[in-house]
Amino acid sequence: MNAQPFATYVRRVLRHLYDLTPAQRRAIEAELYAHLEDWAAEQGRSPGDADLQAEVIEELGTHQEVGRSFALAYCTPRRRGFWFWFNRLLRAEVAACIALVGLLSGWMAQEMAPPVSAANVAEISGTLARLDTACCDDVLLELREYRAAFVINSDLVKLLDLERLRGELQPGQLVSLTVYRRWLPGEPDQAGSTPVVELRTANAIYLDRNAVAPARQYSQPMLQTVAVSACMLCLVVALLHLSRRLGRWRPTWA
């Protein structure tokens, strides 16, 4: 029924009953409209009459009073106690998950793009066992002295001359690598995957850390800025979500 004054009144009543189930809310809505139709039938008037609706609303009372009455009728003290707040926590789980995603994105940004500095990198040398330039978008190196894989990530591959690398760098050559200390295995026989920021031999430098550093210094603040912005947005959404949920509740004793 599209009865505007009464429909607005019903919506306001239902706002005080947010903790009820959808079936209970539909039953209350049907009961209120049935009362309107009964009143109209007794008066011999149309339920859509705005004046009639105003009379029914006045006879029923304010939406706060009617909402409290239905709350008392449908909500047991147990439901308004433990179960009421338990349901509140369940409804907040979406907001909590969003906030958690934002915090994790900030942590991942710091892990993905550490700056190239003496504190973050280590120097290693070894004999090249395999060079793979067809591994996804990365370049993979394996040294005979290590079980670890050393990876030039795709964002740094653009700094390489791949044709020269394939032509000049052959298995058996001695190579020197500058790698991120954080991912370097503690022992040569430990497995792992370590990002490379410099690749050189006795005769050539194929990846220069001086060229990598500006790229890393640019990418790290960008990732952190995006992550912090996403985190702040998620927290704002979480707070709005919680305030909206709690703001709709009115205690039955008020």
- Cα separation, 182 vs 194, in Å, equals 8
Q: What is residue 180's predicted lDDT score, i.e. its pLDDT?
A: 83
Look at 128 and 81; give whichever has higher pLDDT. 128
d(CA 49, CA 3) in angstroms, rounded, equals 8
Q: pLDDT band at residue 254, thresholds of 50, 70 and 90? A: very low
Whether the predicted pLDDT of 249 surpasses 50? no
User: Which CATH number is associated with domain 121-207?
Assistant: 2.40.50.140
Question: Nearest to residue 156, comparing CAs of 224, 220, 215?
Answer: 215
> Would you kindly state where each structural domain of the chain is located, as residue ranges?
4-75, 121-207
How does pLDDT run across 82-124, given as a tens digit for each residue?
A: 555 555 555 555 556 666 665 665 555 555 556 677 778 889 8
Asked whether 206 and 52 are in contact (CB, 8 A), the reply is: no
Tens-digit pLDDT profile for residues 123-176: 989 999 999 887 667 888 999 888 778 888 777 888 888 888 888 989 999 999
Most confident of 45-54, 60-69, 170-179, 184-193: 170-179
Token pair of 82 as six digits: 């433990």
